[in-house]
Amino acid sequence: MSRHDLPPALESLVRDTVEASGLTGADARDVAEELRTHLRDALDAGRSPAEAAARFGDPEATGARIARARRPHPPMESHGRRRGGGRGMGLETLVTELRRAVRTLRRAPGFAALVVLTLALGVGANTAVFTVLDAVLLKPLPYHEPQRLVQLFSRWGGPGSELSEYLRAPTIRAADGFDDLFDGFASIFTYRETGRDLLTPGAPPERVVAGVVSAGWFEMLGVAPQLGRSFRPEESTGPGEADVDPTPRVAILSHGLWQRRFGGDPGVVGRTVDLSDESWEVVGVMPAGYLDPLGPRADLWIPQDLRSGGSNGWSNFYLTGVGRLAPGLSLAAAQDRFEAHWAGVVEADPDAGDVDLVLQPLVASVVGTRRASMLWILFAAVGLVLLSACVNVANLVFARSLARDRDVAVRGALGSGRGRLVAHLLSESVVLALAGGALGLLLGWVGIDALLRLAPDALPSVAEPRLSGRVFAFSLAATALAVVAFGLAPALRSARTPAAAALRAGGRRGTEDRRLRRVRDGLVVAQVAVALVLVVGAGLLLRSFDALLSVPLGIETADVLTFEVHLPGSRYPEGADRHRFHTELAERVTGLPDVVATGSTSWLPVNGRYHSWGIQWNPDGGEELRDGAWENSDMRIIAGDYFGALGVDVIRGQGPGSVDPDGEPVAWINASLAAEVFGETDPVGQRFFAGNAMRRIMGVVEDVPHDVRGDTFRKTYLLHAQYADNRNWALTHVVRLRSGADAVAVREAIRGELAALDPALVLYRPRSLDSLLDSRRAQDRFATTLMGVFAALALVLALVGTYGVLAGAVAQRRREIGIRMALGADAGQVRDMVLRSAVGLVGAGLVLGAVGAWWGGRWLSSLLFEVAPADPAAWGVGVGLLAALGLLAGWLPARRATRVDPARTLGAE
Amino acid sequence: MGLDREWMRGAAPLAVMTLLAEGEMYGYELVEALEARSGGLLDMGQSTVYPLLYALEKRGHLTPAWRESPTGRRRKYYRLTPAGREWMAEQQSQFERLVAALRRLGEGGAADPEPAEAP
């Protein structure tokens, strides 16, 4: 006869007793076998398992007595305290209880694994998302007293209008003089093409990103160079006139560049380096980990020329301004004081007054409001996953505590104190929660890595998420919460269960049972509700992302390769030289196999607004410029067959290919500009003022969006051939390949052509247009992917929870089902009974979840693109999925119920 | 109405040994016999019987042996050792003397409302 013949409750009595005795090996087996034989004999003699258990006595006390009887030196702990019912719960008791709990759980590996895994998933996902949230939103910016840092914005069009980061050089100078307002005010160059080609002997030229900052930038942030010095005031505002007198050529290296290109040599300070064929003196090195709050990730910094004259007048908006408020100054007070000072500036110089200036906390610019709401929403979502995980665990523990009720009741009846019982049950939860928390922390660690890999472009550059003590504390707190949530309630409930009720034959306790079932039902309802919220949320984001992918961009993005080439002003001083170079390069590239068309532009589509300038058109044909008649338009400088390479259609007039660039100045405009500025008038052939000259409009092209959401703005296209002298344009070449061509091979061939033309130049940022689009969609993809993962987790948890409760209910109601079947109910009716309760639970969960999802959807709407929070598809799929899941979870227990054999069930009583 | 804990503790070893003196028995049999033949007075659960058996075994009064019972179930049978037999005889004699002494004490003062003073 096998030992498995004993009912589980009796088997557990035997095991607990042997464990409490501390015996091992053959001794333990001997005692266990003897006790089992005894219980089998009792059952054979007609005693019920309950009676057999009641007569067995308290396993702990018995185990202790056996230990005293069989072992030469009984363990100290088994004296007194055990018999006394455990009023005192010292550390010793705690350790004993925890050790016991580990032993007990080892005997239920399936249960333990399920609970630990469920908790780990919840805690792990929480840790990962919280780490990112912490790094991006909660941790202060990595500068001295960052709450005092503000950014100054321009605003055209009164309160509520959009803020623009662009400021003018005189504004920066003036603000830096408001000494009672700012402890330092400085600027960083707003435009993004601030690279230089770094040439060091024996290494290929490297394109490095230069941060152009005014003197005082680092002091304002409260960061000092690790080596050397920062910029001196005269290096920004020294004698002479901007654009006329030379500026000091001094540079500060980033820690990364210093290590990478100079081997971390401390002697680098004072040396000169070759930047785009000019000699610059290295005056300092910034510490490791320093990052500018705004702007691109710089490899080195050079001083911004803030001297008056030249391009530093009141009409040139090109700088971003950041200041440190004087201590104790609130934002509102600072704004008031700023306006008071500014009124004085405008009085002295009326040109200054055509724009409002607004202060905002710097952190808002660094994080971005949309990104902040995305992270909070994801955090709420992952919190729901943890909640669902805890509910699931509570359910599992409830089920287990039900199965052990009688065991607990016996102990209670035999005099174990209530505190001891609670400790006993709670200790199991503590062990589970600790294991789940630890594994969760590990998963979180892996998860952070995965998140960062998923979204290099979705997070601000200044945030460097690292698993910190704060995150660990959070994870631990979440785990502790889970312990309380799922551990204490069942423990108290079990300890409260009257022993007599638990011991009554068959373990059926009407009122208690119903109450317990209601609690478990409630948990399932909550789980289904949480799952619906997450599934609908994920559905909405998925629909939104789908809409994003299908935005008509007006360009053909497949098989397009782009790269930049920057020409050093020292070797290509004249616009004509630079244009000749770009033309020659384009001709060579066009001659390569697999290349269909080439062109170039000053700024790619879908890459944000850039170079927003004013244009003027006089419907009367006059060519005099008038005050206040400016219209805004983004400027794009193009060369070659740019429209053809991108697939932009010329919808009226002619394309650039048939225009003689040596003739009169010309321009093309997009459909938006044509409609909004020219209205009914046909713009083709009209002359307007754009790019510092009167130009004739040769054609109208279709709109091309400047972001992946399909937003478009007015655009004016000028020919590089006619405008190369304006500045050293950083042209991005656009190469259309034959469909299916090997882009890597073409890229390498282009590299060869470039080296043949000028070996000191860098093929900078070669990438496909599709990869640019991908990076612009990173934030949306990030949110969608995470929400999808969370929803999937919640679905699985809800499935497990619903199944567990229904299966448990069927097991509990075997007798009732047996009676019903004995009284003539057929299998179909029994199955329907179980399925009805499944439908009831899932239905209630769906109703509750619908309320939550409706509320959450409104919150989510800030992230949604062309999808309403009430989107029928997302809701339909969500509700359908959960309903199907409910039926699935109900089906198996229902089938099991129909197999209940009335004769055997009732006979067993 | 059962025995007080202290009485039980004193009587249990002798009770078990007395039954085993008639022949070997296994634990369950012993528990049942104790209850039945003492009219319920010496009703002991496993929590008492097995520790007691192990203690007696450790002292060398009993010797156990696993054997298949007539029903085919393997059981652990206990029997007295010669030393156990001696010890039991000694205990029984002590017990009888104790009971006799207590009885004499009782006979002397059973009719008196007040306890008798020592003569």
* CA A306/CA A871 separation, integer angstroms: 53
pLDDT at A306 over 90: yes
Angstrom distances, CA of residue B22 to CA of A906, B33, B78, B80: 42, 12, 11, 9
B19-46 core/surface letters (b: 16 or more CB in 10 A; e: else): bbeeebbbbbbbbebbbeebeeebbbbb
* CA B14/CA B10 separation, integer angstroms: 8
Give the confidence band of A685 by pLDDT, cuts at 50, 70, 90: very high
pLDDT at B109 over 60: no
pLDDT at B118 over 50: no
For residue A51, which residues of chain B lie inside 8 Å, CB to CB? none
Beta-carbon neighbour count of residue A759 at 10 Å?
9
Single-letter residue type at A847: V
In this structure, of A490-494, A533-537, A559-563, A805-809, the range with the lowest mean pLDDT score is: A490-494
Torsion (CA) A667, A673, A679, A683 in degrees, nearest 10? 10
Interface residues of A toward B, Cβ cutoff 8 Å, are 1, 30-31, 33-35, 37-38, 40-42, 45, 55-58, 61-62, 65-66, 68-70
Mean pLDDT of A563-577: 87
Angstrom distances, CA of residue B70 to CA of A61, B29, B73: 33, 13, 7
When mean pLDDT is compared over A101-105, A142-146, A154-158, A375-379, the highest value belongs to A142-146
Here the tokens at position A676 are 């909004």
Give the confidence band of B112 by pLDDT, cuts at 50, 70, 90: very low
- Nearest to A394, CA basis, from A789, A402, A381, A126: A402
Q: What are phi and psi of A94, to 5 degrees?
A: -60, -50
Annotate A363-391 with three-state secondary structure. HHHHHCHHHHHHHHHHHHHHHHHHHHHHH
Interface of B with A in 72-111 (CB under 8 A): 72-76
Give the confidence band of A186 by pLDDT, cuts at 50, 70, 90: very high
- Nearest to A597, CA basis, from A526, A678, A655: A655
User: What are the tens digits of pLDDT across the range A485-523?
Assistant: 666 665 566 555 555 454 444 444 556 567 777 877 888
What letter does residue A310 receive in the DSSP assignment? T
Which of residues A21 and A680 earns the better pLDDT score?
A: A680
Please judge whether A62 and B74 are an interchain contact, meaning their C-beta atoms are less than 8 angstroms apart: no
- Note the pLDDT of residue B116: 39
Class of residue A408 by CB neighbours under 10 A (exposed 0-12, middle 13-18, buried 19+):
buried
Planar angle of CA A656, A661, A663, nearest 5 degrees: 120
ipTM: 0.86
User: What are the tens digits of pLDDT across the range A786-830?
Assistant: 888 888 888 888 887 778 777 777 776 777 777 887 787 788 888
8 A C-beta contact, residue A636 and residue A718: yes
- Note the pLDDT of residue A87: 43
Angstrom distances, CA of residue A154 to CA of A10, A317, A343: 79, 9, 15
8 A C-beta contact, residue A274 and residue A198: yes
- Note the pLDDT of residue A471: 67
8 A C-beta contact, residue B94 and residue B14: no
In this structure, of A397-406, A569-578, A769-778, B38-47, the range with the lowest mean pLDDT score is: A397-406
- Note the pLDDT of residue A411: 58
Comparing CB atoms, the residue among A31, A40, A57 nearest residue B45 is A57
Considering chain A, what percentage of its residues have pLDDT values greater than 70?
86
What letter does residue A233 receive in the DSSP assignment? T
- Note the pLDDT of residue A276: 81
User: What are the tens digits of pLDDT across the range A604-663?
Assistant: 988 877 887 888 898 888 888 877 778 889 999 999 999 999 999 999 999 998 888 889
- Nearest to A833, CA basis, from A814, A817, A811, A815: A817
Structural domains present in chain B: 5-102 (1.10.10.10)
What's the start-to-end Cα distance of chain A, in Å?
A: 22
Comparing CB atoms, the residue among B26, B28, B74 nearest residue A42 is B28
pLDDT at A595 over 90: yes
* CA A301/CA A211 separation, integer angstroms: 5
A861: left (phi over 0), alpha (psi -120 to 50) or beta: alpha
* CA A479/CA A432 separation, integer angstroms: 10
CB contact set of A877 (below 8 Å; sequence gap of 6+): A535, A539
- Nearest to A887, CA basis, from A830, A813, A817, A836: A836
Annotate A649-692 with three-state secondary structure. CEEEECCHHHCCCCCCCEEEEEHHHHHHHHCCCCCCCCEEEECC
8 A C-beta contact, residue A127 and residue A444: yes
CB contact set of A139 (below 8 Å; sequence gap of 6+): A463
Annotate chain B with three-state secondary structure. CCCCHHHHHHHHHHHHHHHHHCCCEEHHHHHHHHHHHCCCCCCCCHHHHHHHHHHHHHCCCEEEEEEECCCCCEEEEEEECHHHHHHHHHHHHHHHHHHHHHHHHHHHHCCCCCCCCCC
Beta-carbon neighbour count of residue A125 at 10 Å?
25
- Note the pLDDT of residue A74: 38
- Note the pLDDT of residue A752: 94
B45 to chain A, any CB pair closer than 8 A? The answer is yes
Mean pLDDT of A82-96: 55
Here the tokens at position A484 are 């309380």
8 A C-beta contact, residue A820 and residue A830: yes
Comparing CB atoms, the residue among A42, A58, A70 nearest residue B54 is A70
- Note the pLDDT of residue A85: 40
User: What are the tens digits of pLDDT across the range A194-253?
Assistant: 778 887 777 777 888 899 999 999 999 999 999 999 999 999 988 888 888 888 899 999
For residue B54, which residues of chain A lie inside 8 Å, CB to CB? 31, 66, 69-70
Token pair 């680098």 is at which residue?
A268
Q: List A357's β-bridge partners, or say none.
A: A154
Angstrom distances, CA of residue A424 to CA of A100, A114, A454: 8, 20, 44
Please judge whether A35 and B50 are an interchain contact, meaning their C-beta atoms are less than 8 angstroms apart: yes
For residue A31, which residues of chain B lie inside 8 Å, CB to CB? 50, 54
Please judge whether A69 and B52 are an interchain contact, meaning their C-beta atoms are less than 8 angstroms apart: yes
- Note the pLDDT of residue A598: 95
Q: What is the mean pLDDT of chain A?
A: 83
pLDDT at B111 over 70: no
Q: Where are the beta strands (DSSP E) in A286-316?
A: 300-303
* CA A474/CA A606 separation, integer angstroms: 39
pLDDT at B98 over 50: yes
Separation of CA A257 from chain center: 29
Please judge whether B28 and A38 are an interchain contact, meaning their C-beta atoms are less than 8 angstroms apart: yes
Q: List B68's β-bridge partners, or say none.
A: B74
Stated pTM of the model:
0.65
Please judge whether A37 and B27 are an interchain contact, meaning their C-beta atoms are less than 8 angstroms apart: yes
Which of residues A549 and A327 earns the better pLDDT score?
A: A327
Give the confidence band of A388 by pLDDT, cuts at 50, 70, 90: confident
A720-755 core/surface letters (b: 16 or more CB in 10 A; e: else): bbbbbeeebbbbbbbbbbeeebebeebbebbeebbe
- Note the pLDDT of residue A126: 82
